[in-house]
Amino acid sequence: MAGSFWLIPLIPALSTLILLLLGSGLSRKWVSIQACLSVFLSFILSLASFIHLLRMPGETPAVVKTLLPWISSGTLSAPISLSFDPLTAVMCLVVTCVGFLIHVYSVGYMASDRDYSRYFGFLNLFTFFMLVLVMASNIVLMFVGWEGVGLCSYLLIGFWFERPAASRAGMKAFIVNRIGDAAFILGILFLIVTVGSPDFARINSAAAGGGLAPSLVTLIAILLFAGAVGKSAQIPLYVWLPDAMEGPTPVSALIHAATMVTAGVYMVARLNGLYSASPVASSVVATIGAVTAVFAATMALVQTDIKRVLAYSTISQIGYMFIGCGVGAYAAGIFHLATHAFFKSLLFLAAGSVIHALSGEQDIRKMGGLRRHLPRTFPTFLAAALAISGIPFLSGFFSKDAILTSAFSSGHIVVWVLGLAGAIMTAFYMFRLVFLVFYGQEKAGAEAQHHLHESPSVMTVPLMILAVFSVLAGYVGLPAVVGEKADVFGRFLEPVLRLPGAVLSAAVEWNLILVSTVAAVGGLFIAYLFYLRYPRTPGVLVARFPWIYKVLVGKYYVDEFYDAAIVRPVVRGSELVYDHFDLKVIDGSLNGSAAAANAAGLGLSRLQTGLIKDYALAFLLGVVLFVGFILFLKI
């Protein structure tokens, strides 16, 4: 069974084919069972391969299987080849586990949707591409998965394509990602030219060996990171993710919180040899991550759409993962990726349950006092909120602390301070949500009150399972002060991801943990003061600093700036080119050649008189000329 790890992505692929080709002919029950079962089988296979990996002796446990030759030209060879090493194992487990739970949840959430089989077909397709992305053993095949998940993201954001906002958001996501991907392709090409092989193992060893020019390594690393910035929604390409919330909520949970958007972090961690070889590129990664973590958190403070708050929170948390990768603590970044996948998908799914209960209401100003009506959703949401805020002993605490500690120990003090500021805001905006949605007065109208109901078990059971993971997942990666071997997660990943060199004294580390805890609890307490104890405070602050509030609500006017600086000039330029070049030059030359052919045909048709004698005369003249020519030549 362990040798068949290459089947992990193929099972959802098969399911996709069946669902998309025969979709309308299958019953809803069949579609649900098949879609969920395919991902569950992948999960079981991932688990089996993971256990196999644990038992494998040797320094670097990994299995590689080449399925097919693919690109083979001269010395370049990029086969379709999958590998399974500790990093892939973590990603596969996260993707298939969270993916399976979200598939199950979708059965309830999408129950009344018309395009049931199309939805699950796309969701399975996404799982396939995501698994290809994390299992590819070379960067070219990884790029196939990379683009595939982008395609599925586009298809699922615009799933309700009859809504103009949804189809616009899908296009925006796709186009913004193209910008990053252009740089990513350039990076791949440079990499192949420089290293001579797209294989991850060879890239990392070549970069670590120091045989490559440092400037070239930096250039490649930054180009590839530009692709990650697009995919993982970091500054300056984050603008697509908040709009992506137009898609169904389980899609936001799976693609735009737990898995796809973290692909950039995975890519940086996978190429850790390359990034470690370039301090400049690593600083860029850490800086972008830290600035994004704070910048996105400030926007999350004032959003009123429950899903958009979570979207900005996702951007901010991915910023933390990049901090981890940028300061050399790749394992910490991946650790936060894994815990974040659990608690953020739980937050989205619980938010979906709230939206479901309120018949589609997403504005938190119209919610309140829901904890009595949603007895299963509320505790799970609370658990996830506590986890993401970094309250001690929950998963988010351990992973965020691992990142901040590494930032501090590697000497990135500014990054550490930014991360801490982000942590305070994280706790604040999460508990702003909790207090506004679940506490206080009930603000739902009589009509919505009437429909108010807890979601069915098919939706709440995945929430509870995710809640268990959100609480407990952190215990696989305890901080180093607890014990030499406490960081099971980091030690498991050590063969793939180098651990940071600097080690702090126990006292400093305890102090850092204390500071993180104070930040998290402080943020929570401020939210308590603002939204429960003295609910008039936010209004007073807005009246006091109206322009700060306006800038935050306006999301720093970045969308407007992009619109004015890029979108509109491009559209205007395209219109100009269309009017003057397309219509006049291209259409003109095409129409002109058609008219010329027509005129020539009309002229030549005069020769056809329909009289046999004229034809015979032409024939005779031809013969005379031909014979005369031959005779003349002979003479």
**Closer residue to other proteins in complex, CB, 586/597:** 597
User: Does 539 help bind other proteins (rule: CB under 8 A)?
Assistant: no
User: Does 617 help bind other proteins (rule: CB under 8 A)?
Assistant: yes
Phi, psi of 81, deg, nearest 5? -140, 130
**Closer residue to other proteins in complex, CB, 446/611:** 611
CB of 628 to other proteins, least distance (A): 15
**Closer residue to other proteins in complex, CB, 501/610:** 610
Q: Please give the structure tokens belonging to residue 174.
A: 């796709």
Site track 219-248 with other proteins (rule: CB under 8 A), x = hit: ------------------------------
User: Does 68 help bind other proteins (rule: CB under 8 A)?
Assistant: no
User: Does 612 help bind other proteins (rule: CB under 8 A)?
Assistant: yes
CA distance 433 to 510: 30
CB of 605 to other proteins, least distance (A): 3
CA distance 143 to 181: 9
User: Does 620 help bind other proteins (rule: CB under 8 A)?
Assistant: yes
Chain mean position to CA 381: 22
Site track 400-439 with other proteins (rule: CB under 8 A), x = hit: ----------------------------------------
Partners of 73 in the β-ladder: 76
**Closer residue to other proteins in complex, CB, 215/598:** 598
Number of residues that bind other proteins (CB under 8 A): 13
CB of 620 to other proteins, least distance (A): 7
CB of 608 to other proteins, least distance (A): 3
**Closer residue to other proteins in complex, CB, 529/616:** 616
Q: Please give the structure tokens belonging to residue 243.
A: 């709009």
Site track 250-269 with other proteins (rule: CB under 8 A), x = hit: --------------------
Chain mean position to CA 42: 20
CB of 624 to other proteins, least distance (A): 10
Instruction: Report yes or no: 342 and 93 within 8 Å, Cβ to Cβ.
Output: no
**Closer residue to other proteins in complex, CB, 76/623:** 623
CA distance 5 to 504: 39
CB of 22 to other proteins, least distance (A): 56
Site track 166-195 with other proteins (rule: CB under 8 A), x = hit: ------------------------------
Instruction: Report yes or no: 500 and 328 within 8 Å, Cβ to Cβ.
Output: yes
CA distance 100 to 124: 10
**Closer residue to other proteins in complex, CB, 589/609:** 609
User: Does 616 help bind other proteins (rule: CB under 8 A)?
Assistant: yes
**Closer residue to other proteins in complex, CB, 556/615:** 615
68: left (phi over 0), alpha (psi -120 to 50) or beta: beta
CB of 629 to other proteins, least distance (A): 19
**Closer residue to other proteins in complex, CB, 612/633:** 612
Instruction: Report yes or no: 387 and 328 within 8 Å, Cβ to Cβ.
Output: no
Among 241-249, 430-438, 534-542, 611-619, which window interacts with other proteins (CB under 8 A)? 611-619
Among the listed residues 360, 543, 610, 631, the single contact to other proteins using CB under 8 A: 610
Please, which contacts does 173-177 make with residues 24 or more away whose CB atoms are closer than 8 Å?
173/240, 173/241, 173/243, 173/244, 174/150, 176/230, 176/237, 176/239, 176/240, 177/150, 177/153, 177/230, 177/231, 177/237, 177/240
CB of 617 to other proteins, least distance (A): 7
DSSP secondary structure letters along 410-471: TT-HHHHHHHHHHHHHHHHHHHHHHHHHHSS-----HHHHHH--PPPHHHHHHHHHHHHHHH
CB of 622 to other proteins, least distance (A): 13
CB of 602 to other proteins, least distance (A): 8
- As a 3-state breakdown, the chain gives helix, strand, coil percent values, each rounded to 5, of 75, 5, 20
CB of 603 to other proteins, least distance (A): 10
Burial profile 41-67: b = 16 or more Cβ within 10 angstroms, e = fewer = bbbebbebbbebbeeeeeeebbbebee
CB of 152 to other proteins, least distance (A): 59
**Closer residue to other proteins in complex, CB, 602/635:** 602
Q: Please give the structure tokens belonging to residue 127.
A: 């799982």
**Closer residue to other proteins in complex, CB, 564/596:** 596
Site for other proteins in 283-342 (CB under 8 A): none
Site for other proteins in 550-609 (CB under 8 A): 604-609
CB of 611 to other proteins, least distance (A): 5
CB of 570 to other proteins, least distance (A): 51
Side-chain half-sphere exposure of 216, counting CA atoms within 13 A: 15
Among the listed residues 24, 613, 632, 635, the single contact to other proteins using CB under 8 A: 613
Task: Return the closest-CA partner of residue 130 out of 191, 244, 46, 67.
Answer: 46
Kindly state the DSSP code that residue 68 receives in the 8-state scheme: E
Among the listed residues 611, 631, 633, 635, the single contact to other proteins using CB under 8 A: 611
Q: Please give the structure tokens belonging to residue 323.
A: 């901090």
Please classify residue 115 by burial: count the beta carbons closer than 10 Å to its beta carbon, then call 0-12 exposed, 13-18 middle and 19+ buried.
Answer: middle
**Closer residue to other proteins in complex, CB, 446/602:** 602
Task: Return the closest-CA partner of residue 338 out of 516, 481, 469, 483.
Answer: 469
Number of neighbours of residue 215 by Cβ within 10 angstroms: 10
Among 58-66, 294-302, 389-397, 613-621, which window interacts with other proteins (CB under 8 A)? 613-621
CA distance 498 to 273: 8
CB of 607 to other proteins, least distance (A): 7
CA distance 253 to 260: 10
User: How far separated are the first and last CA of the chain, in Å rounded?
Assistant: 89
**Closer residue to other proteins in complex, CB, 161/619:** 619
Binding site for other proteins (CB under 8 A): 604-613, 616-617, 620
